[in-house]
């Protein structure tokens, strides 16, 4: 497969991807995220629209961007691919959710999305409800409670150079 279609949900209209505009404390770090699920991208955009209104009193719109991702060019970058939400993935997400930018040197990271339900479970872990933070049994309990089979996938870009493998298909669609 030389390319795949991916989607990005946003509350902003833009012509050029700027990874520095990404929100901090995210699964794989501050950056630009896409998914192969149009439904997931739409839901994120609509959710962020609601959050902006509730938390900041900001009225915004929701948009869906569609990109073609050149899979051949992945080899030009430092890529981490989490096939499953396993122990390594959990520790990676926890590390990135603790820092403003990112806790790694990867250009592109692929893997499951830690959704709202996942964050409830992660916060329970961080509060010590499963045992000591970093304890292997606590991490295993965390992983079991995440229900990884229900998590949609995501692809993260840490820098503007890596986003060059994305080609915008048409205009953003208002939701």
Q: What pLDDT digit, counting tens, does each position of 45-90 carry?
A: 999 999 999 999 999 999 999 999 999 999 999 999 999 888 899 8
The more confidently predicted of residues 144 and 22 is 22
Output the pTM of the full model.
0.90
Are 103 and 29 in contact by the 8 Å Cβ rule? The answer is yes
Q: Closest Cα to residue 44, out of 63, 16, 18, 23? A: 63
What is the C-alpha to C-alpha distance for residues 142 and 30, in angstroms, rounded to an integer?
23
Q: Say what the alpha-carbon torsion angle 35, 36, 38, 43 is, to the nearest 10 degrees.
A: -30
Reported as a pLDDT band with limits 50, 70 and 90, residue 123 is confident
Mean pLDDT (the chain) is 92
Contacts of 52 (CB under 8 A, 6+ apart): 11, 58, 59, 60
């Amino acid at each position: 497969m030389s390319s795949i279609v991916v989607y990005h949900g946003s509350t902003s209209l833009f012509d050029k991807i700027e990874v520095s505009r990404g929100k901090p404390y995210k699964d794989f770090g501050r950056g630009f995220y896409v998914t192969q699920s149009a439904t997931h991208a739409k839901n994120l955009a609509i959710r962020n629209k609601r959050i902006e209104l509730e938390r900041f009193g900001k009225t915004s719109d929701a948009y869906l961007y569609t990109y073609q991702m050149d899979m051949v060019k992945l080899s030009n970058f430092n890529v981490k691919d989490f096939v499953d939400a396993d122990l390594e993935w959990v520790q990676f997400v926890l590390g990135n959710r603790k820092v403003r930018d990112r806790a790694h040197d990867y250009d592109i990271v692929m893997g499951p999305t830690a959704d709202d339900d996942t964050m409830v479970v992660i916060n329970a872990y961080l509060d010590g409800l499963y045992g000591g933070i970093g304890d292997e049994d606590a991490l295993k309990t965390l992983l079991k409670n995440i229900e990884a089979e229900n998590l949609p996938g995501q692809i993260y870009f840490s820098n503007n150079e890596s986003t060059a493998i994305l080609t915008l298909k048409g205009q953003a669609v208002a939701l």
